[in-house]
Amino acid sequence: AQSVTQLDSQVPVFEEAPVELRCNYSSSVSVYLFWYVQYPNQGLQLLLKYLSGSTLVKSINGFEAEFNKSQTSFHLRKPSVHISDTAEYFCAVSVSQGAQKLVFGQGTRLTINP
C-alpha cells in the first residue's frame, strides 16, 4: 500500500530564511506526487506536482520540489520565505483506481517569524 511520511510536524523559520519540508513515500507502482498548501480556514490548494518528466518541479511562488526515486523522497524547498507562507503543507501520493485516491501525509505546519 502507498503511504506518505512527513518527518516534521512543525517547522519554524525566520522571514527570508531558506526552508525545507521533508516528504518520503512508499509505493510499489508508478508514483505521482503532490504538495498541497492549506491556509487557515481554507481548503487545499495545489502547490506543485510530479507526474513524469523532469524530476525538479517548481511553483509560481518560489517553491520547488525534487522527485528522488532512489531515496523515495519529494522534499519541498524555498530559498527565502515570507510571512505569507505561513500555512499547513501536505504531501500526497496518488493511487489511480479509475478515479484517483490521494493518500496524504500528516502535514507540516510552517510558521514564519519576523
Partner 1 sequence: DTEVTQTPKHLVMGMTNKKSLKCEQHMGHRAMYWYKQKAKKPPELMFVYSYEKLSINESVPSRFSPECPNSSLLNLHLHALQPEDSALYLCASSQVLVVDTQYFGPGTRLTVL
In this structure, what C-alpha cell is assigned to residue 96? 489511480
- If one asks whether residue 89 binds partner 1 (CB under 8 A), the answer comes out as no
Residues 29-88 that bind partner 1 (CB under 8 A): 32, 34, 36, 41-46, 49, 51
**Contact region with partner 1 (CB under 8 A), list: 11-19, 67-75, 79-87, 99-107:** 99-107
Contact between 107 and partner 1 by CB under 8 A: the answer reads yes
Q: How many CA atoms lie within 13 A of 95 on its CB side?
A: 13
> Interface with partner 1 by CB under 8 A: which residues?
32, 34, 36, 41-46, 49, 51, 90, 94, 96-102, 104-107
